Amino acid sequence: MFRSKKIAKYLAPGNHVHLVGIGGVSMRPLGLVLKGMGMHVTGSDMSASSSTEELEKQGIPVHIGHNAENIEGADCIIRTAAAHNDNPEIAAARAAGIPVFERAQAWGEIMKSYKNAVCISGTHGKTTTTSMMTHILMEADLDPTVMIGGYLPLLHATHRVGHGDTIVMESCEYCDSFLNFFPTLAVVLNVEADHLDYFKDLADIQKSFHKFAELATFGVIANGDDEHTIQAMEGIDYVSFGLQESNRIHAANMCADWRHFDVICDNEFYCHLDMGVLGRHNALNALAAAASAWMMGIPGETVAHGLESFHGAGRRMEFKGKWRGADVYDDYAHHPDELAATIDSVRTSFPGRRLVLAFQPHTYSRTHSLFDDFVRELKKADVLVLAEIYAARERNTIGISSAHVAEQIPGAVYCETLPDVTAYLQQIIREDDVVITMGAGDIFRAGEALLEL
C-alpha cells in the first residue's frame, strides 16, 4: 500500500474519482482538492451533514448511504479507513476491477507537487501543532494548502486549498498511513503506546515513526525531551526541540502558566511568544511549530505574530459557554497522556475550582489496552461522569464497557446514553465549576445539550 505509484495515473484531470466516506474530516478537503485539479468527483456518506452540504454547494454530488450503483462510471475509488471490503461500494469496485486506494495514498500523491510538504506527526498534539503552523504560514503570506484533523477558526474549516508551494498536513500513524506521504519536513511531537489494535507494542510504533522520519527529504524535527521519541529517532539526523536547554530549539524565561517564553534556536534568540493557549503540552507544540518555521527560514517576528493570534483549534479545550455560573469546555483528549496534560493545565489555570469531567472513552481496544492508565488519570477529576465507549470503527468483541472503568473509581457515575450524561450534569453542576466534556467521539453533544437548557 505504501507510497504506491499506481494512483498517480488515476489522479489526472478529467478522470472520475469516487470517495467513500466523503464527509470525513480529511476526505472532504481531499474531494475539494481533487476537484480543483480538474477531476470529476463524486462521493458517498452514511448520513447527511454540514460537510456533505458544503460539498454539494461546491459542485460535488454526494450520495447518502452506500450502494453499489453509486460508483457507476468511476475510474478509481478512494476510501476512508472506516470503509472495509464488505462495504457495498468497495465490494462492487473490487468485483468490477476498479482500483481502490486509501485516502493517505491520495494525499501522498498530491503532496509530491509541493516544494514544501510539512508533515506533523505524533501520538498527541497533531491538530494543535498543525493549526499553529497554519497561523504562522498564513502570517508569512505563503498561501498554504492545509489539512487539519479539527476545526480551525482562522480558516472557518478543517482545511484550506491554497495556491502557494507549501502544504502542511496532520500526519497520523494509525495503520501506518503516514508512510504513504512524501514529506520534505517531518515533525515528530512525541511517541507513545496507542492504536494497539493495529500495532503490536510501543517498539512497533517506534519503528513506524522511524520509517516516517526517513521519508523526509529536507529535515526532521523531533521532541528531544521525550525518551520514546529519542529512541524512535536513533540513527536519524534530526533537529531537537523541547524545554530542556540541551535541545537545539528550546524555551527560555518560561512563565508559570507556560504561555510566555523566548524561543532559542542554536543558542540565538529567535522570537518571544505570548500565547493564547494554556499548558506545558501547548508550549511544546509551539516550540515544534517555531522549529519548523525556523527550518523554513521564516522570520521569528512572523512566528510571534502568528502564534499570538492562535487561541486553539476546535475541541481542544474549546470554551463552549457558561451554564449557571459554571464554565463549560470541550476537549478531544482520548489517550491517558492527553487526559493528564489537559487536567494538569486546568489545575494550573483554574486553581481551587472544582473540575467536573464527563469522559467518553474512544474504541474498545484502546480502553482495554490502556485500562489502568485511564483509571489513574480519571481519578484526578473532582466529579467524574463516564459515557459509554464510542465504538468508532470497532465492534465490542472484548465485552468491555465504561461501567467497568467506573467500578474502579470511587464516586464515578456511569451513564449509558448522552442524554443521561446531560441530565446528570444538570443535577450536580455548581457555580464556578469547570466542566469538561472529553473524548474523540460525540461527547461534545452532551455539553451542547446542557447549554441549551
Cell triple for 130: 498543525
**Mean pLDDT (whole number) for 177-197:** 95
The distance of Cα 160 from the centroid of its chain, to the nearest Å, equals 16
Range with the poorest average pLDDT among 130-144, 158-172, 225-239, 423-437: 158-172
Residue 313 lies in a domain: no
* Same domain for 236 and 118: yes
Residue 286 lies in a domain: yes
Residue 363 lies in a domain: yes
Domain boundary among 66, 85, 106: 106
Domain boundary among 106, 137, 166: 106
Residue 329 lies in a domain: yes
* Same domain for 207 and 84: no
* Same domain for 370 and 433: yes
Residue 68 lies in a domain: yes
Q: Which among 90, 81, 116, 106 is positioned nearest to 9, based on CA atoms?
A: 106
357 neighbors 438 (Cβ within 8 angstroms): yes
Cell triple for 17: 474519482
- Across-strand partners of 116? 166
* Same domain for 380 and 279: no
Question: CB 273: neighbour CB atoms within 10 A?
Answer: 22
* Helix or strand run (H / E) with residue 18: strand 16-20
Residue 188 lies in a domain: yes
* Same domain for 182 and 43: no
Rounded to whole angstroms, the Cα distance separating 216 from 222 reads: 12
Rounded to whole angstroms, the Cα distance separating 133 from 205 reads: 25
* Same domain for 250 and 118: yes
Residue at grid coordinates 458544503: 54
Residue 1 lies in a domain: no
What does the mean pLDDT of the chain come to?
95
pLDDT confidence of 2, banded at 50, 70, 90? very low
Express each pLDDT in 199-209 by its tens digit.
Answer: 999 999 999 99
Structural domain including 375 reads: 318-451
CATH number of the CATH domain containing 95? 3.40.50.720
Which one is predicted more confidently, 151 or 206?
A: 206
**Mean pLDDT (whole number) for 360-366:** 97
* Same domain for 280 and 137: yes
* Same domain for 149 and 30: no
Domain boundary among 281, 308, 335: 308
Whole-prediction pTM = 0.86
Express each pLDDT in 244-265 by its tens digit.
Answer: 999 999 999 999 889 999 999 9
